[in-house]
Structure 1
Amino acid sequence: MNTLRYKKYSKADKVITVSKAIEITLNRNFEIPNNKLTTIYNLFDIEEIRKVEPTELLEKNDFNILMVGRLEHQKGNWHAIDILSKIVEKGIKNVKLNIIGEGLLKSDLKNLAKKKNVLRHINFLGYKENVYEYMKSSDLFLMTSLYEGFPMVNVEALACGLPVVSVDCKSGPKELLSYDPTIQVNSWLVCEYGILFPEYGLVQKSHEISNKDSEINQMVADNIKSLIKDPSLISDLKVRSYQRALDFDKNNIAEEWIKILR
């Protein structure tokens, strides 16, 4: 399979990737020359996203943490529930985890929430046609994926001025939130456009949390608790989030494609 892919790549005049991390992987694993590789991010209509009004369905007196994505193994949703339980254990009662998405793990995640006694702190919202109105009404966006290609939902959150707290999984989150895509994330790291925390270990079974991953979740919970008590950093990140999202606006990305095709 790798040989077949290499032949296809080698015949191309240019290979376009959706993230720098994928570009680096293709260079290392398939020996594609750097001068053939270019990253062009997915484009978004940032101005249209900005026009969306917030929903009134989320309780304004709660600290609303939002997740968006399929309820499947890749997304590591059980880590978010573990993080939530650790926040609640610290005495923070006015916190809600709002999960948009459907998937095979829904009943398992609900059972886990019951087991950890935080089901009343979670809203399983199902599929939503318009996620932006929920992003506009939330306080924090959380991503706990085990791996990604290019997490488009992170850009959408940034476009809504919603601060992103993301695991440093492969690939995408680091280069979205930091100036330096090579930076090492060994702890809670406040970057230029969001917050990163260390990646999780890959596990075979959903809901499986190693001691190391539990320590990561405790660190995330402790820091989110600090954000809830002192939201000044959140206010700052809201401004910077939108500034970063403009880099992915359709007009800017179209210009990059035009340069390639000339």
Structure 2
Amino acid sequence: MKKILFIVDDLGKGGAEKITLDLAYTLAKNDNLVTLAVLNSSKNTLAVDSSIEYIDLNINPKFAFGKLWKFKELSKKEQETISLLINEKNFDLIILGFHNGYYLGNYLTQKKNVWHWIHGDLLEFRKFNNPLKQIKEHIRFFKNKRKFAKLFKNRNLITVNRDLESKAQTYAQPKSTVTIANGVQVSDDLIAQSPYTEKKWDVIFVGRLVPIKQVDHAIKAFSISNLTGKMAIVGDGTEREKLETLTKELNISDRIDFLGWIDNPHQLMLQSKCLVMCSLYEGSPVTLAEAIALGVPIISYNSSAGIADLFTIDTAKFGLVPKQNIKALSFALEKCVQNPYKYNQECIDKVCMDNMQKRILQLCD
């Protein structure tokens, strides 16, 4: 039995929040004493099981939800709260999560077995056609590199893919690093239903409707394919209105169902012939792991090691396409709907939550 503490910004709608809660629940279910602390609960949407000790640190939203690279400092009262609720306890493992939770490392008296969990690319470098914008991007990247090094130097880091581990080692000089891919827990009943579930959509997208997800690529690929069925888009975000307008411009609005945010989209995924992902970058995407566990074929841009590592040689040739290639994406979607491929056991084992739990517990030793 191990005592484990997770600290995250909140329990909102993102994949990092969901995987943290699922991991915490799995650890608690296996007789570990798990505490989950959020910096501020005002954006919570996920419920915490009673088997997990839950703490709302009630930290100022400017600290809890502010930009990652903006300097943050706790008030005296907030430091007293940390001291009372966390520092007076002793844990076998402390994991500071995405992403302002990293700053609490400076306020913890426990130094042994404290790990910072990096879920995504914190040093994204964007390319612009405008020379002035590109110069500004170089300056921004240089400043953020320095802040990244300061935040993570001599720290223990968990990364969710090989790309992120390599970048952390290059820029931060961490004390130690380990890559642990996200695992998922899907009910056996749902997995058993998979082959017999009636399909309502040819293609489904699940995720936030934000620029980095490039959902417009999925819509365009669906539009130029020879598919005659419908596409479901599960999620919400700043890009929704633009995406709805795009479907009208392409004359396919009657074939695209915008279903909004749904906490558990597994049943909808089962009702789809394939799942599409066309992100500019992903850490270790929970949605893809869930699709593999459910047996739903994936068509995805090969845009990060976190995506590529989910596949085997046999499945990669069907599921991965060159990034930013909408025509290739369209062709792969069409081919997959007409002739769906299946995952081998190696793929399924890669996304198993029990395997992830074992890797996390090894950090306690």
Asked if 2 retains the 8 angstrom alpha-carbon contact of 1:150 and 1:172, the reply is yes
Which whole-Å CA distance do the structure 1 matches of 2:329 and 2:205 have between them?
Answer: 15
How far 1:98 sits from its partner (Å)? 0.6
Against the structure 1 CA distance between its residues 65 and 244, is the aligned structure 2 distance closer, same or farther, given a 3 Å change threshold?
same
Equivalent of 2:240, from 106, 123, 127?
A: 106
> Corresponding residue for 2:110?
none
Partner in structure 1 of residue 316 of structure 2: 191
Counterpart position of 1:135: 269
Aligned to 1:38: 178
Question: Percent of counterpart pairs with the same letter?
Answer: 24
Distance 1:178 1:52 in 2: 23
> Hey, what does 1:182 align to over in structure 2?
none
1:224 counterpart (318, 322, 333): 333
- Give the Cα–Cα distance (whole angstroms) in 2 for the partners of residues 23 and 223 of structure 1: 30
Post-superposition shift, 1:66?
Answer: 0.8
Relative to structure 1, is the Cα distance of residues 169 and 49 closer, same or farther in structure 2, using a 3 angstrom cutoff?
Answer: farther
**Deviations 1:187-236, CA, capped at 9 Å, x for gaps:** xx9517x6111222xxxxxxxxxxxxxxx21222223323334x1xx2x4
SS at the partner of 2:203? Answer: strand
Q: Which residue of structure 1 aligns with residue 283 of structure 2?
A: 149
1:74 maps to a residue whose letter is I
Preserved CA contact (<8 Å) 1:46 1:246: no
Equivalent residue pairs, number: 221
Cα contact 2:288–2:298 (8 A) shared by 1:
yes
Q: Which amino acid aligns with 2:215?
A: N
Structure 2 residue runs without a partner (length 5+): 1-143
Shift of 1:113: 0.7
Q: The residue matched to 2:280 in structure 1 has which SS?
A: coil
CA distance in 2, matches of 1:49, 1:172: 28
Note the alpha carbon deviations across 1:119-154, whole angstroms, 9 max, x for none.
Answer: 111111111122000111111110011122221111
Higher relative contact order (CA 8 A, sep 6+): 1
Q: Write the distance in 1 (CA, Å) between the matches of 2:361 and 2:231.
A: 41
Measure, in 1, the Cα distance between the counterparts of 2:231 and 2:171.
39
Q: SS of 2:238's equivalent?
A: coil
TM-score by length of 1: 0.74
Q: Is the partner of 1:130 in helix, strand or coil? A: coil
Partner Cα distance (1:157, 1:96) in 2: 19
Secondary structure at the counterpart of residue 153 of structure 2: helix
Partners of 1:147 and 1:171 within 8 A in 2: no
Q: Distance in 1 between matches of 2:237 and 2:192?
A: 26
Task: Name the SS for the 2:230 alignment partner.
Answer: strand
Q: Distance in 2 between matches of 1:226 and 1:164?
A: 12
1:65-118 residue CA offsets vs partner (Å, 9 max, x unmatched): 01001111111011111101101xx4x32x211100112222211111111111
Match of 1:162 in 2: 296
Aligned to 1:191, the other structure's residue is in SS state helix
Query: Rg: which structure is higher?
Result: 2
- Unaligned ranges ≥5, structure 1: 180-188, 201-215
Aligned: 1:23 with 2:23: no
Contact in 1 for aligned 2:205/2:233 (Cα 8 Å) = yes
**CA distance in structure 1 between the partners assigned to 2:294 and 2:203 by the alignment:** 14
Partner of 2:136: none
- Check whether the contact 2:273–2:337 (CA below 8 A) recurs between aligned residues: no
Structure 2 equivalent of residue 252 of structure 1? 355
Structure 1, residues 43-73: CA drift from partner, whole Å, max 9, x if none?
322445846857x9x974x652010011111
**Corresponding residue for 1:75?**
213
2:220 and 2:274 mapped to 1: Cα distance? 16
Residue 4 to residue 122, structure 1, CA distance change in 2 (3 Å)? closer
Per-residue displacement from partner, 1:29-50 (whole Å, max 9, x unpaired)? 33447xx221112332244584
Q: Distance in 1 between matches of 2:220 and 2:276?
A: 13
Residue 272 of structure 2 aligns to a residue in which SS? coil
* 1:20 alignment partner AA: R
